[in-house]
Amino acid sequence: MSDALTLPAEARERAGKGASRALRREGRIPAVIYGGKEEPTPIHIEEKELVRQLMLGHFMNSIVQIEVDGKSMRTLPKDVALHPVTDRPTHVDFLRLSKDAKIEVQIPVVFVNEEESPGLKKGGVLNVVRHELDLVCKSDAIPDQIEIDVTGKEVGDSIHISEVTLPDGSESAITDRDFTIATLVAPSALKKSEEEETEGEEEVAADEVEATAQKGDEEEGGDGE
């Protein structure tokens, strides 16, 4: 699990768009802490510190200790709203966590022992279907990543969630099917798939151009009448 982060904050007394805009002008970002059978707690945090922690790369999968008026609250970031043009954060939602809480998170997968895969040695390509796994984890045992061993994998093999050993305290959030995480394909098969996808996109583009030209001809014909 990523080390817990600490984020100083101040209580937010006023709500509404006007108050939020005023905070942003001062370099503060409005936020709210909710959950845990308690009333939502509106707060604001320093934009520079928030951006710094976002740049760490694991902010959304980290426990964040928010300190407000001398009180520390254990939370998990759930959503960071960004400005559509500047990409600056505009609002953050934090989920309040109890000690034994279980939460759903997305954890990246990492493939190991590729040199021990006969299929990869023969020139096969690992076609990753899921780069992240939806897991239900204990809030104090969130893994940084899930390692998937490809030892012995041949071209044509698939890796399903049932083959993956998850850390203690973690389980798949998807329980109704044994979904595929990756497949080992021949280079020619992957290339053919990419070519077919490109050809399909080109056909759609050509159809759109033809339809536009036809519409233009019809409009010109209508003007002539």
What is the domain-level CATH number for residue 36? 2.40.240.10
CA–CA distance, 35 with 211 (Å, rounded to integer):
52
Shared domain check, 65 and 26: yes
How many domains does the chain divide into?
3
Do 137 and 105 touch, CB atoms closer than 8 A? yes
Q: What is the pLDDT of residue 225?
A: 41
Query: Of the residues 98, 120, 155, which one is the last residue of a structural domain?
Result: 98
Shared domain check, 141 and 211: no
Q: What is the pLDDT of residue 224?
A: 46
Shared domain check, 94 and 44: yes
Report residue 78: phi and psi, to 5°. Answer: -115, -30
Shared domain check, 217 and 178: no
pTM: 0.62
Shared domain check, 14 and 73: yes
Shared domain check, 119 and 142: yes
Q: Which helix (H) or strand (E) holds 201?
A: helix 187-224
| Cα dihedral 96, 102, 106, 109 sign | positive
Shared domain check, 130 and 158: yes
Q: What is the pLDDT of residue 47?
A: 95
Which residues form the domain of 209?
A: 189-225
Structure-block tokens of residue 41: 């707690």
Shared domain check, 18 and 56: yes
Shared domain check, 92 and 23: yes
Shared domain check, 157 and 174: yes
Report residue 20: phi and psi, to 5°. Answer: -65, -40
pLDDT tens by residue, the chain, 225 residues: 556 789 999 998 877 788 888 999 999 999 999 987 788 999 999 999 999 999 988 888 788 999 998 888 989 999 999 999 999 999 999 999 887 788 888 899 999 999 999 999 999 999 999 999 999 988 778 888 899 999 999 999 999 999 999 998 899 999 999 999 999 999 875 555 555 566 555 565 555 655 555 555 554 455 444
Query: Of the residues 77, 98, 119, which one is the last residue of a structural domain?
Result: 98
Shared domain check, 168 and 156: yes
What is the three-class DSSP state of 161? helix
Shared domain check, 58 and 128: no
